[in-house]
């Protein structure tokens, strides 16, 4: 995963931390926040993979359409 995605995950966790009360912050360990950042990075990776699959399928359909039109000429 790119540094950009790591930074995005860290920003999400930091923003989440900012919404928590001091009491809640004291109940959540740094390790748990690191786990949350990992979950966010994994979610980003899954969404990127899903987007890549959509783009790949669109490219395959476009190639088939171009090949079909080439055959008609």
What phi and psi values does residue 28 have, to the nearest 5 degrees?
-110, 125
The pLDDT of residue 70: 67
The per-residue pLDDT for 68 is 76
Average pLDDT of the residues in 52-61: 97
Number of domains forming the structure of the chain? 1
How large a percentage of the chain has pLDDT more than 70?
Answer: 93
In this predicted model, what pLDDT tens digit does every residue of 1-36 receive, in sequence order?
A: 689 999 999 999 999 999 999 999 999 999 999 999
Burial of 65 (0-12, 13-18, 19+ CB in 10 A): exposed
Range(s) of the domain holding residue 58: 3-72
pLDDT of 72: 65
| 72 burial type by CB count under 10 A (0-12 exposed, 13-18 middle, 19+ buried) | exposed
The pTM score is 0.77
């Amino acid at each position: 995963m790119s540094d950009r995605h790591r930074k995005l995950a860290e920003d999400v966790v930091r923003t989440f931390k900012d919404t928590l009360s001091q009491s809640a912050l004291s109940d959540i360990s740094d390790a748990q926040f690191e786990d949350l950042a990992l979950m966010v990075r994994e979610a980003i990776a899954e969404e990127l993979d899903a987007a890549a699959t959509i783009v790949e399928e669109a490219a395959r359909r476009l190639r088939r359409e171009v090949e079909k039109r080439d055959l008609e000429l």
